[in-house]
Amino acid sequence: MYRLAQIWRTSTVRLTATFILIFVLFSILLMGFIGWQSSIQIQRQQANDIDREVRQVQRLERQQGVRGIAFAIERLSRNPGPGIYYLGDLSGQYLLGNVTTIPADILQHPGMYSFEYQRSLPIDAEDDSPEDARRGYAVARSILLDSGLRLVVGRDVVERRGFTAIIVQSFLVGVGGILFFSLIAGGITARRVLRRIDSISATSTTIMSGNLSERIPITRRNDEFDGLATNLNAMLDRIEQLLQGLKEVTDNVAHDLKTPLTRLRNQAESALRDGTDNEQRRVALETTIVESDKLIQTFNALLMIARAEAGAPSGALSDVDVSAVVADVAELYGPVAEDAGLVLEAKVTDGIHLHGNRELIGQAMVNLVENAMKYHEPGDDGVGKIVVSVHESEGRVIVEVSDNGPGIPATDRKRVLERFVRLEKAEPNPAPALACHWWTP
């Protein structure tokens, strides 16, 4: 379980709380606006009902006179409901209606008013009715009829206040529900997010402790965290491959340098032996210089490869006539192949150029040709054959060295392109050996 202080310090929880606060404020404003508009609409509806009844009474006065008005007010006064009716003479004295007392200002000055009133009880009402049941607050319109009578028509606002109370109650319940469920939803969301983040952190801690094979778990939800985990796992795979490659390179470089360094030591030791004449010492020193030059060439090649992979600073890459390089290698190794009983055939397309390093391309060709001469097998005519070719295809330069030897096993054809890789001796492969290198011109 997370402590509250630890959870609150996380940006996930703070962001969730911010969104909850924004949502709650918006909900409060929305519900308040709805309640306000509802109250205004009820007031407008009451005013429209009052004006409609006033027009009906005026129409009855024109059609049936005072008698018709009296019958109408008497009937309306007996109907249950929020209606307020008062009919008085010219001086305002009560004649008919369900309200017996109206403020004098309202009777003397026609218009729209709000006032407290006391409703008169019907004839069949019980005498012990509560006094508060007959009191109320009304909105009414006062007019002077053509006959000289004073008419007051209104509506009790208790119903409107009851509706407003319902709105306020619903508003409070709604706000409380929004807060409650928002907190629950926010807590669940924050907990799930923190759980995924903790999973990534735990995996990172395990990797930092030295277990490079550990990977971030991926769920089936395929959400943004799964996308992040996929990218991080791909990055970790690449880092593991690079570290493994670095280890292999280190081991292979050490293995390649062990033999020439051993020869250097043997030559130096032989030169220092007793009884060695000056001529033998001179030969030993010359051999030491030759071996040192080979070591320097090896390190220069490694440095040149590193510079080329880093963007070729200091002019490591330039325009190279690949056709000339391949032709020179074929011409150089033609006699060597002939002495070994092989046929070296060159298929060179003239004028092919690319941006690269001439020394590295030449060294790669030499390695491939020597490898073909070493692992070749006689063909059907009993003669081994090596084909060296260069041509362009689909905007790329293709350099090939092939022979009819056992070839590289299919499982190692991808790994063999890595640096300092040594393949174990494999079983014969009927497919011809094929080395194919692609460069972008």
**Structural domain boundaries in the chain:** 1-122+129-214, 224-309, 317-439
d(CA 432, CA 375) in angstroms, rounded, equals 10
For residues 351 and 360, is the Cβ–Cβ distance under 8 A? no
Q: Which residues pair with 439 in a beta bridge?
A: 397
pTM of the predicted structure, to 2 decimals = 0.43
Give me the CATH topology for the region 317-439.
Answer: Heat Shock Protein 90 (3.30.565)
Q: pLDDT at position 47, please?
A: 87
d(CA 84, CA 239) in angstroms, rounded, equals 87
Closest-CA residue to 51 (of 154, 124, 204) = 154
Spell out a b/e string for 246-270, using b for 16 or more CB atoms within 10 Å of the CB, else e. eeeeeeeeeeeeeeeeeebeebeee
d(CA 109, CA 87) in angstroms, rounded, equals 15
Q: pLDDT at position 307, please?
A: 64
What does the CA dihedral 219, 222, 228, 233 come to, rounded to 10 degrees?
50
Write out the two tokens for 309: 């992979």
Which backbone phi and psi does 97 adopt, to 5 degrees?
A: 130, 170
Which backbone phi and psi does 396 adopt, to 5 degrees?
A: -125, 155
10-residue stretch averages of pLDDT, the chain, 441 residues long: 58 74 81 79 84 88 86 85 85 85 86 81 48 69 88 81 73 79 76 78 83 82 81 86 75 75 80 74 81 80 65 64 89 87 87 83 85 77 82 86 80 74 53 43 43
For residues 301 and 360, is the Cβ–Cβ distance under 8 A? yes
**Per CATH, domain 1-122+129-214 is 3.90.1150.10:** no
For residues 335 and 363, is the Cβ–Cβ distance under 8 A? no
d(CA 17, CA 11) in angstroms, rounded, equals 10
Q: pLDDT at position 183, please?
A: 76
Q: pLDDT at position 360, please?
A: 80
State the alpha helices, DSSP H only, in 272-340.
278-309, 322-339
Query: 224-309 maps to which CATH number?
Result: 1.10.287.130
Q: Which residues pair with 403 in a beta bridge?
A: 386
3-state helix, strand, coil in the chain (%, to 5): 60, 15, 25
Write out the two tokens for 359: 């020394």
3-state DSSP assignment of residue 335: helix
* Residue 70: CB atoms within 10 Å: 16
Residues 6+ positions from 39 with CB-CB distance below 8 Å: 160, 163, 164, 167
Closest-CA residue to 345 (of 354, 357, 353, 334) = 334
Measured CA angle at 96 (ends 92, 98), to 5 deg: 105
For residues 73 and 150, is the Cβ–Cβ distance under 8 A? no
Q: pLDDT at position 10, please?
A: 64
Q: pLDDT at position 223, please?
A: 76
d(CA 301, CA 360) in angstroms, rounded, equals 7
**In whole angstroms, what separates CA 83 from the centre of its chain?**
63
